[in-house]
A and B are shown apart, each in its own frame.
Chain A
Amino acid sequence: MPDSMAWFSLKLSFMVASISTMLVFILGTALAYLLARGRFRGKGVLECLILLPMVLPPTVTGYYLVVLFGRQGFIGGWLYNTFGYSVIFSWHGAVIASAVISLPLMVQAARAAIEAVDQHLIDVSYTLGHSELETALRITLPLARQGIFAGIVLSFARAMGEFGATLMLAGNIPGRTNTMPLEIYSLAAAGEWSRAEGMVIFFTLVSGLAIYLGRRWNRAPVLR
């Protein structure tokens, strides 16, 4: 039977990953559309910035997030001075860290799917009088939905497993910010391997399922 701290960290991880995935779905789909169909200056730079967390060590991404969201940071300073609110050492920080780390997975999967939509379908929609926004919402994104779903699943799994950046921004505060990966680390550091075992198996299953579903949706033929 898992102890109460394990339950807490499991519930926290699910909450953090769910909220993070919702944010990543909205922001990631919009960015994927912009990168797939937009032609603008600085597109390459934007793409690099989005993909950087994939190659940077999560602690380095976490460092940047602390610089940005810390009380002296560009965004964090404004939030603290205006609302007296800080994301540092709160579960909100874990959401931000998870979202930034999983965003590239969402953008990559959705972008590839959006680029694969037949240009003739989009052109026809325009000649039939529909705006770019309406065409995106009724034609392009529905036809790219498998890639978007794959991105959602992979982002969720990545958010569930986020460790380094979360540790930097939200800390590892028992009962407040100790998500499952952090709890596993704490238990292992304390030599309590047997208590960590259940969580390790759980993570392995969730990640395996996400990869399976992500690949399956990406490979499935486009609709009917």
Chain B
Amino acid sequence: MTLHIRLQKTLRDFTLDVAWEIGTEIGVIFGYSGAGKSISLQMIAGLRSPDAGMVKAGGRVLYDSNDSTSLSPQERRIGYVFQDSALFPHFTVADNIRYGLREIEKGPAEDALQHLAVTFEIEELLNKYPAQISGGQKQRVAFARALIGKPIALLLDEPFSALDNPIRGKMRLFLRKIQKEFSIPIVLVTHDIFEAYTMADRLIIYSEGRVVQCGTPVEVFGNPATEAVKDLVNVDELCRCAIFKKKPGSA
């Protein structure tokens, strides 16, 4: 299963023109704020329209400007997790997750719910409301909700940036678990250099609306293609982050 995208869109400050492809792996989009990372995710999910391009996932064409194909977000079956979890405050945790199912079939739905609750260690939270649980727990619920409908790809828009360091470390382990269990393309947007290096199977570097380099973290960090990439994947900064994150008391 692959996710293949080519997107063009004229924005207020720059023109986004990107193309990349990932398989059943974690692709990390890394770059400065305002480089077009989040908007790329929105266009893949169908929440915004590109001016031109193509989005293909799991062999299905979701968008193609050449033959005017443009599936709605509802038809794309792409999981999306926002930085702020975006849990429905008037639903319990269990109902939030159930809402991720398109057609409610009580038996299988409950089985899937219980399975995800165990996977994400949220069994004790099912009857609570979002306001009653912590930030890390909310993100785990958001992951479970995005995955219960068996999406063909998962898009994560800086899902850990609002969390404390120890929780972030735990969430990264969850993400690895998801990638193993669900075997779907996962796109993670981040501007955290440590997260980019440790989580990426494929690292996609964005700068001012362009993909300036693409490869494994070792390739990109070891051999930055341009001065801009060199500035962005600063190894000293990575070492500083790694040392800081390994201090006693942090994850």
Contact = CB atoms under 8 A, between A and B. Distances in A.
Interface of A: 118, 120-121, 123-131, 138-139, 142-143, 222-224
A127 B45 contact: yes
Given A124-B82, A127-B47, A222 B72 contact: no
A120 B84 CA distance: 9
Given A127-B45, A127-B47, A129-B102, A224 B89 contact: yes
Contacts of A142: 90
Interface in B39-97: 42, 45-47, 72-74, 76-80, 82, 84, 86, 88-90
| Cβ-closest 10 pairs across A and B | A120-B86, A126-B73, A129-B102, A127-B80, A224-B129, A224-B131, A124-B86, A129-B74, A120-B82, A223-B90
B31 interface: no
A21 B72 CA distance: 36
A130 B96 CA distance: 13
B189 to A, nearest CB: 14
A127 B73 contact: yes
A123 B79 CA distance: 11
A129 B77 CA distance: 7
Interface string B110-132: 00000000000000000001111
A216 B149 CA distance: 39
B159 interface: no
B217 interface: no
A131 B129 CA distance: 24
Contacts of B130: 224
Interface in B123-173: 129-132, 145-146, 149
A139 B79 CA distance: 18
Contact of A224 (B73, B82, B90): B90
Contacts of A139: 88
A143 B132 CA distance: 17
Given A120-B84, A224-B130, A224-B131, A127 B76 contact: yes
B88 A129 contact: no
Contacts of B76: 127
B149 A128 contact: yes
Contact of B80 (A124, A131, A138, A224): A124
B47 A126 contact: yes
Given A124-B82, A124-B145, A138-B99, 18 more contacts: A120-B82, A120-B84, A123-B80, A124-B80, A127-B45, A127-B73, A127-B74, A127-B79, A127-B146, A128-B99, A128-B145, A129-B74, A130-B102, A143-B88, A143-B89, A224-B129, A224-B130, A224-B131
B127 to A, nearest CB: 13
B84 A123 contact: no
A123 B45 CA distance: 9
Contact of B88 (A121, A126, A127): A121
B77 A121 contact: no
Nearest to B72: A126
A121 B90 CA distance: 11
A126 B82 contact: no
B90 A143 contact: yes
A131 B90 contact: no
Nearest to B82: A120
A132 to B, nearest CB: 9
B89 A131 contact: no
B100 interface: yes
A123 B47 CA distance: 7
A202 B146 CA distance: 54
